[in-house]
Structure 1
Amino acid sequence: MKIIAINPSQTWQIRHEVMWPDQPFEFVQLEEDNDGLHFGVFDHDKLVSIVSCFIDGDEMQFRKLATLEDFQGKGIASELLKHILKLAKEKDLRKVWCNARNNKKSFYEKFGMIDTHKIFTKAGQEFTIMEVLL
């Protein structure tokens, strides 16, 4: 398993397949994708997990952390999250945050992220903002 920087367009298929399969493909293409840092985990030559990071001042938001279904439960997303938290510390950022689906909160809590209880709904999914101060 290796984590490398990837192009924004390389994230779209996994975003669509894992997170928003009922939405049009364009739904997962973010306007700000070209301003972000994107990372992928490869199992041999197959891209199996992705995340996109957006830095604004001394904060980083990560978005669209997703792993192909056949590769879930193997610690891949955990390694990807550790990678971007390490990157944030290296860049002397103050905070890392995300919009977490409510059913995924416990995953993020394992990394010291706290639920801010700022809740919203998008396309029928309920989210809460989670953050960790570095």
Structure 2
Amino acid sequence: MFQKIIQTDNSRTTIIIRLIVGAVFVSEGIQKLLFPAIRGAGRFEKIGLPSPEFLGSFVGAFEIICGMLILIGLLSRLASIPLIIIMLVAFATTKSEVYLEKGFWELLHGSRTDWAMLLGSIFLLIKGSGFWSIDKRLMKRKK
């Protein structure tokens, strides 16, 4: 089971996706904790999510932890799963309203980072961490 989680290929360019996805999630997670009124609990309350105080800290912590794991290439497949869920919830809770009120093109414009993070996370779930990662080093040790 562990071998499946850390399995990756020799792609040397996957690090680009890891750096983008990891850095954005770490940054967003930190901001949810530093600025809870506008990025964390306050925002979650505004969009009607339950238990916004808990959820703001919970999501922020997951974004930081999973983002860091992706940055260093450790358990990237596993770490991408909560990030995919976070992005799907973000779409469902914030972007559907934009679509209904302002239309398709405003939805696309306002969700470009969301799409990049969702697709980058899906890419990492499918491909793994790539050549320059702790997962790759662990794979070599297991052989």
TM-score (norm 2): 0.32
Q: Select the structure with the greater relative contact order (CA < 8 A; seq sep ≥ 6).
A: 2
Larger Rg: 2
